[in-house]
Amino acid sequence: MIEINITPQNQHQRIDKFMLKVLPGMSKSFCYKMFRKKNITLNGKKINGHEICHEGDLIQVYFTQETYDHFATRIQEKRFESDGVLDVVYEDDQLIVINKAIGVLSQDDGTAVSVIDQIRSYYEEKNVQMDTGFRIGVSNRLDRNTTGIVLSAKSLPMAQIINQKIKNHEVVKLYKSIVFGKIDKDIELKDTIHKDHNNNKVSIDQDGEIMIHTLLKPLRWNESFTEVEIEIKTGKTHQIRVHLASIGHPVIGDNKYGNIHLNKDFKRKYNLNHQLLHAYSYQFIEGDIPLDNERYYKPFIAINPDLYNTIAKAVFK
């Protein structure tokens, strides 16, 4: 028998979800079967899997050590090794903030290296230990070809706090981009969109089911280009890109919503194969969910990618 003590770091979650994290090689149906047959119990009692774990609870798993170790290893998990140094913006014992590079996925999908792969490799190198049942994840997502701030909690309580802050809109998320055309005043955009799941594309639609809200602040401009700071009040798929394109100022390099003809010039000159969009600042603000570290109320800042700076220097001579 293997015993698992519930600590403050892994309490307040359903036992079925907790056990599937502890034993990721175990299927959900098999897990529930083990509950029914009392091969997994909570404080010595039969459970259905919906019970909430609390600090001090004891889970008994009536497996041999060999069986337990087998299920503790994810079956056919495909991992990708990071091919670069992780750009850490901030780190403490509860949180790591990174500057995601171009081409890196926010979450694992089995096709390419992800932020989670990079953080996992970083923790292994630094010998950082995660709490039992806690799996590395990210609290905010960026498109594969968008660079910038990504947050990852180091414990379940911290992940829950961050997720609640995001849900309550107690965060300020700022991006920078260079767009085609001249914008010389602040603009507020509110629209609804329709998502085409087959083509992974969204469009502005007055009858759309998803609302998007974006604030634009020009930082510098000329007759041909504008560097703009973007604050997103909602965080929907391709929100910034479709909103900018809808007002005639598509993001440079955006081949999905932008000007393909003009983009070809940037590809030829700078080998730009993606939208020039950078999530440069992320800040928590005061609200219903308090944070115990005052540092979290200051912005986390991700420096611009080199290519962004090169293009900015060229177009704003």
Residue from 108, 143, 191, 254 carrying the catalytic annotation: 143
User: What angle do the packed helices 15-22 and 28-36 form, to 10 degrees?
Assistant: 120
The backbone region for 55, taken as left when phi is positive above 0, alpha when psi lies in -120 to 50, beta otherwise, is beta
CATH topology of domain 88-167: Pseudouridine synthase (3.30.2350)
pLDDT category at 271 given cuts 50, 70, 90 is very high
Q: What is the pTM of this model?
A: 0.78
Q: What is the CATH number of domain 171-315?
A: 3.30.2350.10
Residue 113 identity (one-letter amino acid): V
**Backbone phi, psi, residue 96, to 5°:** -130, 135
pLDDT digits (tens, 9 = 90+) for 101-132: 999 999 876 677 899 989 988 998 888 888 77
CATH of domain 2-71: 3.10.290.10
Per-residue b/e over 17-31, b at no fewer than 16 CB within 10 Å?
A: ebbbbbbeebeeeeb
Pair of tokens at residue 188: 């507020």
Asked about 109 being catalytic, the answer comes back as: no
The SS3 call for residue 180 is strand
- State residue 75's pLDDT score: 44
Closest Cα to residue 237, out of 106, 82, 138, 102? 106
Question: What tens digit of pLDDT does each residue of 155-190 get?
Answer: 888 999 999 999 999 999 999 999 999 999 999 999
Range with the poorest average pLDDT among 134-138, 188-192, 283-287 = 134-138
Beta strand pairing call for 147-153 and 187-196: unpaired
Query: Among residues of the chain, what percentage have pLDDT more than 90?
Result: 74
Residue limits of CATH 3.30.2350.10 in the chain: 88-167, 171-315
Q: Is 116 helix (H, G, I), strand (E, B) or coil?
A: helix
Residue 295 has phi, psi (to 5 degrees) of: -60, -30
At 55-104, the pLDDT tens digits run: 999 999 999 998 998 888 764 444 545 555 789 999 999 999 999 999 99
Dist CA 195 CA 175 (whole Å): 22
d(CA 229, CA 56): 48
Start and end residues for every CATH 3.10.290.10 domain found in the chain: 2-71
